[in-house]
Every structure is written in structure tokens, then in C-alpha cells.
């Protein structure tokens, strides 16, 4: 995608020797001004898109961004040199602003930020190029081509380099509950499709697209029909959920603990020990306060890595590693048990795990479920979940296994070994039927197919969860928009799976989300506190759980066909008649 593709040929008039054909205006397309050039339109649309995302959250502006991008696709030619390089630069600037918070954990993260923004910036020129091939060479209506190609780009983004789907176009609409209910059919990708299609239809209807000869209101019909259908479906699903919830008995209560530790790499040892002690005291104090407020709570959840003592295991070893004592695993386990005894409630603790084998050591991010014996009160670790989706540059470096010296360029000591299976834990309470819950850690909830995969794994074992629990340490991002973007992803995972989702996040944003994507309660960022959540099982089934990303894959197949079809049409010499945009640029 980073390679500049050739521009579609059109049946434009022959250029004179004095004027290069790429810059000579066609009869229906006056010369572009600085403010209506493709680069300016890309930047303006990117600005609207950025304003619709956190931290500004002016979500209606997302519907206007495609209006700025549509003329770029409809133009018969893109004027000037290196047009696609300029479009990449516009995309790079957008992503640099959208994910600036990646730079906050450590100075070296700036390198990852630069490469991530550069990589993500490639998707916009690819979107424009494929859409132009479809519109100009294959005569596909822009109202279909542009939404399908946009969704295809988002799907690719969800898989490449382990996946990064924050700040999707549809995510801007997370507060419009009736609209996002369609996610249980086609995922969050469907919301992006709708936003793009409506914007393209509005752009086609504007007087400017008709040479200033008035509105073409018939262009709005597809948008109005689709939006009415989506909202009707959404209202119906909300009503069905609320009617059914009345008959569902109360669930066990879950205490979500949020501390205020802003985390960073490279602390001196003494400072690290002091931070470790302060973190434990803060989370223990908040846990005790939550249990006092809600006696008999079914589970107390700490965020990712906030229990700072690691879990050690020795496998197939005749003797422990030279730098460790044989009794350390039991000693560290006893410290965990002491915490459970003090809190006097079942715990879900996320911590680092070190598994020593004959061939070396595997470092994992784990979540352990500690229960208390109903008679003796003695604690026991009954389940362990290992994070399945490590974060690129945060928990591993690409090619680091082949070239270990790459880790010397980062504050990481080595890569994280991913887990292989999902785990369901049982949350019991005296006055409520038990719940099955599936924990996930950190950015796993950012990738829709990751959460779906976990739920399906458990469903096959007749352990389908009733609720999803996210444990995350977003203290790396110092109260930035990254916290909001993570929460938005959790909202869509709840709707897609039709399961309530609770998230315990260090520094925020901890939240209780119901099966409709409604945020029932959330804590302020960088403020200590807790939420006593009582999520109820959903009575609704999720077609998305059964069918997955069929819609997004269909869009990807269509985009691939448009790409190759457009290229083959050029080789055959059938460029087609240019589509007049009448943009007046």
C-alpha cells in the first residue's frame, strides 16, 4: 500500500504541449484551488474525523468527514505530482494526532508512534485508490464502493501486526445506542459502513456536485432508507432486551477497583519498590472499602498488573534456577492468599507470571481467580487465564525472537508469551444465581474477533460466559484520550456479544456496560474509587457470535475484486467514461 499506484486512465481531452495532462482541467472539472485540492480535502475530512473521536467527542462531525473525501474519489484526475504521497501524509497526520498517547510511557515509544502512524496512514490512499478504480473504471456507484472499501481497510487493520482497531469510523457513534445495535449482526464494521454511505450520499446530493444547479435530493434516498432500517432494528433490540431483563433474576455483585498509579518504564529500583508498596496499599484499601459497602460481593477485580508480586511456577526442573529459591513459588502464592484472607472476598487478580522450564522461562500476563472455602475461609487459586493477544511494541517487538538485540532498543527485557485458551470463572453469591465470566486483559477487547474467539472457545465447552471482564492498566497513557478509545471498544464488544461487560482499569476508565452498550456507571479518569456492578445476563442472542465478520469479509472480497477488476480493465484498454464530479474544484 505504500507503493504509489498509477492513476486510472480516463477519456480526458488531449493535453497541449504546454500543459501537462495531469494538471489540465477537464470540461466538467475546473482547476483545483488550494483549498479544494485533494490534499486539503483529505486534511479537512481528517480534522472532522479527529474532532468526532475522543477527547473532543463531537460525534456528529463523523458524518461530515466523508463529504470532504467524496470529491477526491469522484474527480476524473488527481492534479499535481505525488498525489497519493500527499494523501498518505494527510493520513499520517491524522493518526499522529489520534494516537499521540502512545508516546507517553517512555521516550522510546516515540519510535513506535512514528512507525504506527506511518503504517496506519497507508490505509487512506489505498481507500482512495481502490474507490477510484471502482467508480471510474468499473462504474460502481460511489455510495457502494466507498463504504465497502473503507470497511475492508478496517478489517485489514484489525488483523495486521496482531490488530489495531481503535478509532474506527463507527466508534465515533458509541453514544447513539439505537444505531450501534446493528453491531450484533455485522459488528462495529457495519456502523462504519453506514456512516460512510450516508456521508457519500449527502456529498452527491449537494448543489456543488451538480454544478450549482440545486440539490439532487434523490441521492439521499439510499441513505434515508438504510438509516431508517438500522434505527428501527436498534430500537427493537433495545426494547426486547429491556422487556426480557425484567424477568431475569439479580446477579452476583462485582467490585471493580480503580487506583491512580501513572505507570512508566525505567524506574530506579528504590523508586520501584516504593511504588509497588503504595500500589498495593491503595488497591487493598479500596477493596476493603468496597467489601464493606457490599457485603457478600461475588468478586473483587483488580486491573492488569496491579498485583505487583509475580506468580512463579517451576516445570520439569530438577532444581530451581540459580538466581531463585526453591521456596519462592510457595512464598509468593502465600502472599496472594494473605490478600484474599484480608479482603475476605473472592479475587480476580491480574499479575505477571514467570513459568520456568528446562528450555528457559516464559513471561506471561495472567489473571488468577482466588476463591475462599465456604467453611474454612481458606483461599485457593482455582483458575488462571493467560493473555492471548500481546500488544505490539508494548509487550513484544516484531522479529524480536529472531533478532533479540531489537529489545536493546526498547525498555522491554523480552517478549511476552501469549496464552492459548480462554477461561471461564464462576462468580457465586448467597442471594443470586452464579454467573460465568470470561476475563480478558488490556487491549484484547480492542480486537472484535479476539473476544468472539474466546467466547466461542468457551461455548464449545458448555462454558459460555454470561459476562465479560476486562482488566487493563491504562496508567501508561496518563489520563489521555487512549482511555476513552479503549472504553469505546468495550462498548462495541458488549453489543456484538450481547453480554454485559465490566472493566477494571488502573487510572480509568473503569465502567459497567450492559448488553445494549449503555454505560451504566463509570469512574472519572485518574481518580481512585470502585464500582459495585450487578450485571444481568442478556436474554438476547447474538447473530454476530454465530456468523462473525461475514459482512466485513464480504466488503474485503468486493474491494479486492474492484482492485483487480479496475487494473485488468486498464490493461485491456477499456478505461470507461470518466465520471463527472461537477465539484467545481
- Residue 349 forms beta bridges with which residues? 368
Report the distance separating Cα 310 and Cα 448, nearest Å.
29
Residue 417 scores a pLDDT above 90? no
User: Helix, strand or coil for residue 312?
Assistant: strand
Distance CA 260, CA 307 (A): 14
Beta bridge partners of 364: 353
DSSP string, 78-105: --SSSHHHHHHHHHHHHHHHHTGGGGSS
Q: Is the predicted pLDDT of residue 212 greater than 70, yes or no? A: no
What pLDDT does 324 receive?
Answer: 74
Percent of the chain with pLDDT over 90: 60
Which residues, other chains included, contact 320 with Cβ-Cβ below 8 Å and sequence gap of 6+?
314, 326, 328, 356
Best CA proximity match to 67, nearest among 212, 167, 201: 201
Which carries the bigger pLDDT value, residue 162 or residue 466? 466
In degrees to the nearest 10, what's the CA dihedral of 50, 51, 56, 60?
A: -120
* pTM, rounded to two decimals: 0.86
pLDDT confidence of residue 389: 79
Q: Is the pLDDT of residue 516 over 80?
A: yes
Q: Which CATH superfamily is domain 249-536 in?
A: Carbon-nitrogen hydrolase (3.60.110.10)
C-alpha 100/C-alpha 88 separation (Å) is 18
- pLDDT at res. 532: 96
Is the model's pLDDT at 32 over the cut of 60?
no
**pLDDT above 90 for 41:** yes
Residue 151 has pLDDT above 70, yes or no: yes
Mean pLDDT, residues 465-482 taken together? 92
Q: Which cell numbers hold the place of 335?
A: 502472599
Mean pLDDT along residues 206-212:
66
Cβ contacts of 580 within 8 Å, gap of 6 or more: 26, 28, 29, 76
- Phi, psi angle pair for 436, to nearest 5°: -100, 130
- 309 vs 463: CA distance, rounded Å: 30
User: Does residue 283 have a pLDDT over 90?
Assistant: yes
Place of cell 481502490: 130
Lowest mean pLDDT among 16-25, 65-74, 300-309: 16-25
Q: How far apart are CA 11 and CA 76, in angstroms?
A: 9
Within 10 angstroms of residue 31's Cβ, the number of other Cβ atoms is 11
Helix, strand, or coil (residue 402): coil
Tally Cβ neighbours within 10 Å of residue 27. 9
| Rounded (10°) CA dihedral 155, 484, 299, 263 | 110
Can you tell me the distance from the alpha carbon of 186 to that of 147, in angstroms, rounded to the nearest whole number?
A: 14
Strands (E), 264-422: 299-301, 311-314, 347-357, 360-372, 379-386
* Rounded average pLDDT over 515-543: 94
pLDDT for res 14: 43
400-407 CB contacts, 8 Å cutoff, 24+ apart: none
CA angle 171, 166, 473 (to 5 degrees): 120
Quick one: pLDDT at residue 213?
67
**Taking 50 as the threshold, does the pLDDT of residue 275 lie above it?**
yes
Strands (E), 515-572: 519-522, 529-533
- Spatial separation of the C-alpha atoms in residues 275 and 473, rounded to whole Å: 15
Q: 425-429 and 360-372: which strand pairing?
A: unpaired
C-alpha cell at 115: 512507525
d(CA 415, CA 401): 8
DSSP state of 409: G
Amino acid at each position: 500500500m505504500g507503493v504509489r499506484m498509477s492513476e486510472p486512465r480516463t477519456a480526458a481531452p488531449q493535453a497541449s504541449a504546454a500543459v501537462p495532462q495531469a494538471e489540465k482541467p477537464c470540461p466538467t472539472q475546473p482547476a483545483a484551488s488550494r483549498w479544494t485540492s485533494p490534499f486539503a480535502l483529505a486534511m479537512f475530512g481528517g480534522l472532522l474525523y479527529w474532532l468526532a473521536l475522543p477527547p473532543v467527542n463531537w460525534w456528529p462531525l463523523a458524518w461530515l468527514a466523508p463529504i470532504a473525501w467524496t470529491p477526491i474519489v469522484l474527480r476524473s484526475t488527481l492534479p499535481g505530482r505525488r498525489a497519493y504521497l500527499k494523501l498518505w501524509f494527510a493520513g499520517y497526520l491524522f493518526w499522529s494526532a489520534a494516537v499521540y498517547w502512545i508516546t507517553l510511557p517512555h521516550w522510546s515509544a516515540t519510535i513506535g508512534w512514528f512507525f504506527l502512524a506511518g503504517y496506519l496512514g497507508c490505509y487512506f490512499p489505498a481507500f482512495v485508490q481502490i474507490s477510484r478504480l471502482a467508480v471510474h473504471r468499473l462504474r460502481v456507484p460511489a455510495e457502494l464502493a466507498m463504504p465497502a472499501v473503507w470497511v475492508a481497510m478496517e478489517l485489514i487493520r484489525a488483523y495486521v501486526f496482531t490488530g489495531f482497531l481503535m478509532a474506527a469510523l463507527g466508534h465515533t457513534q458509541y453514544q447513539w445506542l439505537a444505531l450501534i445495535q446493528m453491531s450484533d449482526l455485522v459488528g462495529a464494521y457495519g456502523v462504519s459502513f453506514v456512516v460512510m454511505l450516508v456521508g457519500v450520499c449527502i456529498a452527491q446530493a449537494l448543489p456543488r456536485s451538480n454544478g450549482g444547479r440545486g440539490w439532487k435530493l434523490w441521492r439521499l434516498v439510499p441513505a434515508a432508507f438504510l438509516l431508517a432500517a438500522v434505527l428501527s432494528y436498534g430500537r427493537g433490540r433495545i426494547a426486547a432486551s429491556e422487556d426480557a431483563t425484567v424477568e431475569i433474576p439479580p446477579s452476583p455483585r462485582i467490585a471493580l477497583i480503580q487506583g491512580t498509579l501513572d505507570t512508566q518504564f525505567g524506574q530506579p529500583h528504590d523508586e520501584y519498590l516504593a511504588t509497588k508498596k503504595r500500589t498495593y496499599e491503595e488497591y487493598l484499601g479500596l477493596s476493603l472499602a468496597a467489601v464493606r459497602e457490599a457485603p457478600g460481593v461475588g468478586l473483587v477485580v483488580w486491573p492488569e498488573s496491579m498485583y505487583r508480586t509475580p506468580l512463579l511456577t517451576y516445570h520439569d526442573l530438577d532444581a530451581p534456577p540459580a538466581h531463585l529459591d526453591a521456596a519462592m513459588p510457595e512464598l509468593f502464592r502465600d502472599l496472594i492468599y494473605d490478600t484474599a484472607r484480608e479482603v475476605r472476598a473472592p479475587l480476580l487478580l491480574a499479575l505477571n507470571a514467570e513459568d520456568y522450564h528446562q528450555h528457559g522461562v516464559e513471561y506471561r500476563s495472567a489473571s488468577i481467580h482466588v476463591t475462599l472455602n465456604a467453611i474454612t475461609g481458606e483461599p485457593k487459586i482455582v483458575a488462571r487465564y493467560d493473555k492471548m493477544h500481546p500488544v505490539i511494541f508494548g509487550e513484544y517487538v516484531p522479529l524480536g525472537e529472531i533478532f533479540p538485540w531489537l529489545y536493546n532498543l526498547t525498555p522491554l527485557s523480552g517478549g511476552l508469551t501469549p496464552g492459548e485458551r480462554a477461561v471461564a470463572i464462576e462468580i457465586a453469591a448467597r442471594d443470586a444465581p452464579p454467573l460465568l465470566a470470561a476475563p480478558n486483559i488490556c487491549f484484547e477487547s480492542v480486537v472484535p474477533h479476539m473476544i468472539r474467539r474466546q467466547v466461542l472457545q468457551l461455548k464449545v465447552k458448555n462454558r459460555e460466559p454470561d459476562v465479560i471482564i476486562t482488566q487493563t492498566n491504562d496508567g501508561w497513557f496518563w489520563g489521555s484520550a487512549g482511555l476513552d478509545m479503549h472504553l469505546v471498544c468495550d462498548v462495541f464488544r458488549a453489543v456484538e456479544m450481547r453480554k454485559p461487560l465490566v472493566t477494571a482499569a488502573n487510572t480509568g476508565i473503569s465502567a459497567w456496560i450492559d448488553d445494549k452498550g449503555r454505560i451504566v456507571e463509570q469512574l472519572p479518569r485518574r481518580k481512585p474509587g470502585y464500582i459495585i456492578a450487578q450485571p444481568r445476563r442478556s436474554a438476547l442472542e447474538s447473530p454476530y457470535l454465530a456468523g462473525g465478520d461475514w459482512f466485513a469479509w464480504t466488503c474485503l472480497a468486493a474491494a479486492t475484486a474492484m482492485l483487480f477488476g479496475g487494473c485488468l480493465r486498464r490493461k485491456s484498454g477499456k478505461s470507461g467514461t470518466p465520471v463527472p464530479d461537477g465539484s467545481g474544484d
